[in-house]
Amino acid sequence: MKLPSEVKKLVENSIIFLGTANKEGKPNVTIVDRAQIENNSKILIRDVEMVSCRKNLLSNPNCCLLIYNEPKDSTCKIFGSAVEYIRDGEEFEAAQADVESRGRKLNGIFRITVDDFYKLA
């Protein structure tokens, strides 16, 4: 599914919450450090201090992103699945440098394939 430009801008300039569930269906949610759109249909999510959500995505790739931009009073939900967990390479090194410059640690990057989205406000 291709994301429209207004949703892409919202993803890259907003607070994002990531919702996951383990294989038994127990839910968890976390705030995402940064997200970036790739190829109009994938989102790269940085794993910074994710513990339960990382475990959940590695065993159950289904997820939901809630994007919230208070100044614009805009919200949308994106449903997708984690198709890859990146732990090395150029993408990882660039993200790692940014995260470390803020005194945090990058564990990896999830590549999420977008299945559907809803603009809520």
Mean pLDDT of 20-40: 93
Which two structure tokens, joined as six digits, stand for 31? 């705030």
The C-alpha atoms of residue 24 and residue 13 are separated, in whole angstroms, by 33
Q: Looking at residue 94, which CATH number applies to its domain?
A: 2.30.110.10
Return the pLDDT at 38: 92
Per residue in 43-75, pLDDT tens?
A: 999 999 899 999 999 999 999 999 998 887 889
Mean pLDDT of 14-21: 95
Tell me how many domains the chain contains: 1
The C-alpha atoms of residue 33 and residue 52 are separated, in whole angstroms, by 15
Mean pLDDT of 3-10: 88
The answer to whether residue 121 scores a pLDDT higher than 90 is: no
Residues in contact with 24: Cβ distance below 8 Å, sequence separation at least 6, in sequence order: none
Q: Which domain holds residue 76?
A: 5-119
19 contacts 66 by C-beta, under 8 angstroms: yes
